[in-house]
Chains A and B, each alone.
Chain A
Amino acid sequence: MRNAVFLLFAGALWMATVACPASEPSHGLFGHDGRTNHFARAPYLQLATPNSIVIVWRTDGENEPVVRYGRSVEALDQQVSASVIVTRVSLTTNKAELKLMEEKRPELLRLPKLHSAPMGLFQYEARITGLNPDTRYYYAVYDGQRRLTDSDETYRFITQPPSGAARPARFWVVGDSGTGREPQHNVHTSTIDWVKQDGRPLDFYVHLGDMAYQRGRDVEFQTRFFEMYEPTLRNIVCWPTMGNHEGGTSKGTNGVGPYYDAYVCPTRGEAGGVPTGTEAYYSFDYGRIHFICLDSHDLDRKPTGLMARWLKLDLERSKADWLVAFFHHPPYTKGTHDSDREKQLIEMRTHIMPILESGGVDLVLTGHSHIYERSMLIDGAYATPTVAEGVVLDDGEGDPRTGEPYRKSKGLTPNSGNIQIVAGHGGTTIGRRGTIPLMRKTIVEHGSVIIDVNGDTMRGTMLNKFGEVRDVFGIVKRGEVTHQRLMTPWQPPPWKKAKSTGDNDVPSEPPEDFFVAIPKNSEWTYLAGQHPEGTKWTELKFDAKGWKKGEAPFGYSYREARTVLDDMKSHYSSIYMRHEFEVEQADYIAELGLMINYDDGFVAYLNGKEVVRKGVGKGSGKDAQQVKSHDATRYGYFSLKDFEKHLKTGTNVLAIEGHNSSMDSHDFLIDPYLLIED
């Protein structure tokens, strides 16, 4: 009965905890009845240092959290238990329930809160300390005595090498990936396969922001980041920077929001570097590489701002051989964003880059712009618009495979050149709007970047979503190298936007990423053998009473027709079809397009407004004229004209009238489906 009450209780899982007698163990509600043998968020690693690591996970309802760990899978002989594990919770907002909780379980009210996670979720953050540097450990998460993680060797980590110790490093760089869709998945899996084949595992992962479209909500983090990368996140740390989309719900100024719930970042210099007092920006060391993460989204980017002041202090102190900076907004890009026009990008270039370069930065990793762009070796490119003259130090390919990596002096040398990488191609729709004259490679494909650092050599490899190597660059830091600034450096070829053919009958390319709003072979409501009155039938409020239902494609003499219109030939030449679909937020739709295979012509309407017309010269319905002959040989994609004006949040209707060129035509086909691009 208690369970039944519990399950019915307004989705507030904690409530059952409150309802339990005080004598029951704290984990009593979910702990041992088999209902929490899975995680609300599977365990993942955070904030690695040479001697410590943080393991984070979530459960539905309260657990008695324990992490056991050790040097072999069979001997997890040490443990961290509840008393030193940070617990965060998402509680109800119902006043009555809160009052009851105050009486029964007041300690729950004192726990730190998750910003906007589903009610009843508990997040546990176990900091394991006293570890040996550069050492492999295995771990398991428990609820009291009950093991929650599988007993396998994938739950493992290797502690960071001692700060300052020379050790090869390999890390994975991904940006703008958080869609939860196929390109993101493919980028991840193909990289993992490539790494496996290459025989050198990843040491850690750097995410350049926009990991949880659209607004960085807790649920978006869960489905578009944690579930997507789960097998990787359980054994390597992801070091993040906040993107503008996470900025929809999280704020760098106060460190509150789902982004800050998800990650445990250094604030007191725990992983090397200067204490920041905030998780919004930070630094860490990995052997002889110093990493700097900045918040380019919502903090003051001016040199007098707190972040820039911290950056100067951090650069003063670092004694590494390599300096890598990462943040979301690129100082140089002409992908889906333009660094010559947008404020955040311009400010990162004019305010932050001079500080980084005077500190000797080697590599700058950014996202935001959905493209892969990789620069030559540059320094001092602060002008707007960006020009190449006098700021390129080496205009070669920088390809170590041909013996021509970029070369720099040993150690950190101010203003000695850096490579800029825009890697916003991790999963969302990619695009290009021009050419930055500093870029040696510009590739409009989904992918990610692997960076290897070994002693005095850095190598970057861009993999596309099929795991193919699309760019390789390198830097060797050896001896004393003096560069001359090139006044007429190599220039990338100019880029021209593909011209529209201007032919309305020619379909365009469908978007690379899309949701299917009306699937192929869907059931439509249709009218055949007669004409509806006027155009009311194209509107949402139209009552299609008396219309039939049938699956697309509609037609005759085509084998693929599912709804065969046997009586059409010689009797009628038009059919009328309707299909409703839902959109949660019309304001956020980037494109709506019809994929259609047709014979001979059609007119499509969105909520009563004409949005596509193909093969029908003029008129509509019974007055349709000049229907040109067209064979249904393949699908074509047609963007719906001015859909922004007609699409509504909630229910919409797509209506199509299909026309044959003549009643005696020997065939007919209408086979539509609808795509939404994000």
Chain B
Amino acid sequence: MTLICTSLLLLVFTAGIAVAHDSPEHVIEMLTARMETVGERSDLLWRRATEHRALADHAAAAKDLKRAIKLRRDYLPALIDLSRVQLLQGQRRAALRTIERAMSFVPDEASRSPLRMIKAEIFAESGKMAAALSECDRALAGSGGAELDWYLTRSQIQCRLGRYAEAADGLQRGFELTGSAVLEVESIDARIDAGQYEKALPKVEAALADTRWQSSWLLRRARIRLGQGQIAAAHQDLAVAIVEMNRRLNPAHPEAGLLSERGFAYALLGDLSLAKRDLASARKGGADPASLRRLELTLLSQH
């Protein structure tokens, strides 16, 4: 009886018992030892792959994920993660094959939406923008539109296709649905890109009246003013923006995003050498290529 009670008590107490020393290395070690005893299992392999990914060891992660899928061909967590890992490894065709295989195991369209977004990323990385956009549209339609990131991904693809107005409208709808300030600001940027200055300007002015750091908004207003032919006013905004950005930029360790914005300001002022210098520094500082797109386009147009 004592034995039964003890057992029951322990059963309760050990429910979901934790791996407290949960560093990736420790978990990998434990899972490896576990599989030496119980044999390889798709769930354990997937868990170990997750830890390899935490250590950015994509090759080891891919190996485990492939073995997990070999053991259980419809194991979705492994299929989805393998596709992501393959994309990170630059294996786009393989990533596409994997995600399509995953989709074949998912019957309903709503559940397919996250997979479609991965597919869209793969297409975008491969330069197939129209196909990427189509997947985004289907994903957003299938999901009911609650995923904030997806609006951003779709708008980036639309902008790369030059469909700025469409991007702005989609972002605005996303903002209205979710309230995300980022989507609203992105829609303002897309409107400026689309030449819809009258729609964008009131929002830019309102933000300028309410922000501590103003450089990004001054930059937006300068773009509008340049578009409207108000060159002097635009240059004044850009000069003020650069002064503020210089205050914020850490000379020893400059923030790459801010560097690319300053480079953009220089480019709009026509100071191409300083713009190129900031672009190079931003790249060196690890700036995401997507954040440099406007600066690069401006430099190209003024070359």
Contacts and interface: CB of A to CB of B under 8 A. Distances in A.
Interface string B183-215: 101100000000000000000000000111110
Contact of B24 (A299, A342, A513, A678): A342
**Most chain A beta-carbon contacts within 10 A, residue among B13, B247, B288:** B13
A319 interface: yes
A344 B54 contact: yes
A580 interface: yes
Interface stretch (B63-71, B96-104, B226-234, B251-259): B251-259
Contacts of B271: none
B177 to A, nearest CB: 8
Interface in B153-198: 175, 178-183, 185-186
A303 B257 contact: yes
B19 A644 contact: no
Contacts of B213: 315-316, 359
B56 interface: yes
A69 B65 CA distance: 55
Interface string A165-183: 0000000000000010000
Given A522-B2, A678-B20, A313 B54 contact: no
A278 B148 contact: yes
B76 interface: no
Interface stretch (A6-14, A444-452, A581-589): A581-589
Contact of B180 (A277, A302, A303, A485): A277
Contacts of B10: 515, 517, 581-583
Contacts of B258: 358
A179 B18 contact: yes
B298 interface: no
A41 interface: no
B18 A588 contact: yes
Contact of B16 (A277, A584, A644): A584
A380 B252 contact: yes
Nearest to A583: B14
A304 B288 contact: yes
B256 A354 contact: yes
A245 interface: yes
A588 B19 contact: yes
A28 interface: no
B277 interface: no
A274 B181 contact: yes
B30 A585 contact: no
B108 interface: no
Contacts of A581: 6-7, 10
Contact of A277 (B21, B178, B212, B291): B178
B300 interface: no
Interface in A198-250: 213-215, 217, 220, 244-245
Contacts of B283: none
B147 A584 contact: no
B55 interface: yes
Interface in B1-52: 2-3, 6-8, 10-11, 13-26, 30-31, 33-34, 36-37, 44, 47
Given A428-B20, A580-B3, 18 more contacts: A214-B17, A214-B18, A277-B180, A278-B148, A278-B180, A302-B288, A336-B20, A337-B23, A341-B24, A341-B55, A344-B54, A350-B286, A359-B213, A370-B20, A390-B252, A515-B17, A588-B17, A589-B17
Lowest 8 CB-CB distances: which A-B pairs, in order? Answer: A277-B180, A380-B253, A277-B178, A429-B20, A644-B33, A354-B255, A645-B37, A214-B16
